[in-house]
Structure 1
Amino acid sequence: MCTQYNCVNPGLSNRVPVAQPGWNVPASVAPSGGSATWVDAAGGEVPPNSVPGGFDNEQVYVARARHEGALLPGKLVPSHGVCYVPWGGAEHGKPEYQVLVGCEPAWVPSVGGQVPDGALPSGETEDGEPLFVGRAKHEGTLSVGKVQASHAVCYIPYGGQEIGYQEYEVLVAK
């Protein structure tokens, strides 16, 4: 289980990535209070106090999963039994994942890879670039994905694809 930056689950990163040139990361990446925690889950399980992130024919939740050496923010769709993450131009369903619990999210509008102060670091690319939880409206849904500052977009997983949006919202944990 991971609590904020302290992971005790093997295979999940316990380090906060160091910003590199071209990465547009916030000055302060610590959550602004609360007790944001990532809880292990699988098969569509929704732990108590899970953070809702959007809607796609049902409530979806803020989650993350490992894929190809990266730890990727995405969306848990309970009825599908997986967390969907965007990577490499495609949507990937992961039956084992972590769900964000125990915080009150504020969704801050942003554009072009910008990440507001107080955004919760929620993963990293296979190269160590920090990723943050973002969401965007798409075809009547509100879909949760990853903000990747070096690409200047929020990527969402939807309909088998990884779709980039230059206008999105970023999760700031209260």
Structure 2
Amino acid sequence: MAGTYRWVPGCISQCSIPPGALRVGSDADGAEIYAGRCHHEGDIIPAKVIPSKNACYISYGGEEVFKDQFELLVPAMFSWQFSTNGAVPPGAVVAGTTADGETLYYGRVTHDGCTTPGKIHPSHETCYYPFDGEERSSSEYEVLVLM
């Protein structure tokens, strides 16, 4: 692959977004959402980072979980590709792993007019995403792919 990407440490208290961080969506009020990931319960999980709200959330165990330590994705060249039922195309961005070693990929869905990021969990055949205090899921989603 021609491009590369890296994960840059971030923290809510510092609320600094590195140059080139990947914007992946917007919240209900139009706040920008950036691609992130966090450590949680032995997993590394894709996250949504909302700098204007000093917030970072993951979906885990049926809940939307607030995190204050995270990493932000700083990309090379990416695109979004539609997929369903846990499938990911070649070049899909690996964004984390479960404690059991399953690879998680970075995805996004449109929910109530908002584009919000989440984790594609292939063995569950879905994309989980944090939204309005809950963990939601969708069998239809877009996958972040390195070009």
Query: For the residues of structure 2 that align with 1:96 and 1:166, how far apart are their CA atoms?
Result: 29
1:46, distance to aligned residue in structure 2 (A): 1.1
Say whether 1:84 aligns with 2:53. no
Query: For the residues of structure 1 that align with 2:59 and 2:7, how far apart are their CA atoms?
Result: 19
Alpha-carbon RMSD: 1.0
In terms of fraction of residues, the more strand-rich structure is 2
**For residue 146 of structure 1, what is the aligned residue in structure 2?**
119
Spell out the pairing of 1:23-102 with structure 2 (5 A cutoff).
Answer: 32-43=1-12, 44-56=15-27, 57-102=30-75
Identity %: 39
Asked if 1 retains the 8 angstrom alpha-carbon contact of 2:32 and 2:52, the reply is no
What is the letter of the counterpart of residue 47 of structure 1?
Answer: P
What is the letter of the counterpart of residue 150 of structure 1?
Answer: S
Count of residue pairs brought into register by the alignment: 143
Please report the TM-score for the alignment, with normalisation by the length of structure 1: 0.79
Runs of 4+ in 1 over 6 A off after TM superposition: none
Please report the TM-score for the alignment, with normalisation by the length of structure 2: 0.93
Where do 5+ consecutive residues of structure 1 fail to align? 1-31
**For residue 132 of structure 2, what is the aligned residue in structure 1?**
159
Spell out the pairing of 1:117-156 with structure 2 (5 A cutoff).
Answer: 117-156=90-129
Query: For the residues of structure 2 that align with 1:145 and 1:115, how far apart are their CA atoms?
Result: 14
CA deviation vs aligned residue, 1:33-63 (integer Å, no higher than 9, x gap): 2220000011132111101111112111110
